[in-house]
């Protein structure tokens, strides 16, 4: 259960927020839901998320269209701390790529699936960025009940390329 905490003259008030109830267990994507809610509040000027997690960054980038206020990602520590304007960054990449990021996140390394051994998210993201077929396929992951044979072949090719196999390889 999520609650809105407010302070007034030394006391703290707690109000349940039904719009934030979710059965989704992964905290990374729940952060995006909270950002959407916060951006709809009349007193919100901008939404700031403080996190060291690159998954949170990618999900915020993917969901940026649904967040109606400027969205800032505050990350790092000490001299390496920085604030990234997600709203501005999202405007520099295609909608197709932003839509594909969430599918890539679910496929490669969200907290509820296993990561590909020795392969980081950055390599997978760069591969996604450079291939429109991959973007189209990953944007469909999670929106359909089943994956088509054609999409499965694109995913197999993606995995082969992730491990350095030629681009025409689609069988492991």
Co-location of 86 and 51 in the same domain = yes
Q: Which SS3 state, helix, strand or coil, does residue 170 take?
A: coil
Q: Supply angle C-alpha 88, 92, 93, rounded to 5.
A: 125
C-alpha 157/C-alpha 151 separation (Å) is 10
Mean residue pLDDT of the chain comes to: 87
pLDDT recorded at residue 22:
80
Q: pTM, whole model, 2 decimals?
A: 0.80
Phi, psi values for residue 84, rounded to 5°: -110, 130
Residue 110: inside a domain: no
Co-location of 122 and 70 in the same domain = no
Q: 55: number of CA atoms within 13 Å, CB side?
A: 19
Co-location of 48 and 127 in the same domain = no
Sites in the chain below the pLDDT cut of 50: 112
Co-location of 77 and 130 in the same domain = no
Q: How does DSSP classify residue 161?
A: H
């Amino acid at each position: 259960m999520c609650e809105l905490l407010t302070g007034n003259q030394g006391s703290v008030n707690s109000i349940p927020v039904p719009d934030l109830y979710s059965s989704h267990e992964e905290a990374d994507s729940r952060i995006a839901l909270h950002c959407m809610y916060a951006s709809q509040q009349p007193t919100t000027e901008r939404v700031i998320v403080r996190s060291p997690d690159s998954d949170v960054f990618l999900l915020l980038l993917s969901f940026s269209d649904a967040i109606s206020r400027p969205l800032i990602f505050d990350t790092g520590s000490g001299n390496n701390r920085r604030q990234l304007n997600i709203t501005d960054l999202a405007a520099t990449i295609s909608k197709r790529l932003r839509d594909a990021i969430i599918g890539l996140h679910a496929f490669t390394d969200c907290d509820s699936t296993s990561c590909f051994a020795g392969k980081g998210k950055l390599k997978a993201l760069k591969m996604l960025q450079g291939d429109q077929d991959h973007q189209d396929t990953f944007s469909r992951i999670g929106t359909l009940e089943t994956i088509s044979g054609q999409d499965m072949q694109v995913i197999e090719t993606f995995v082969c390329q992730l491990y350095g196999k030629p681009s025409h390889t689609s069988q492991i």
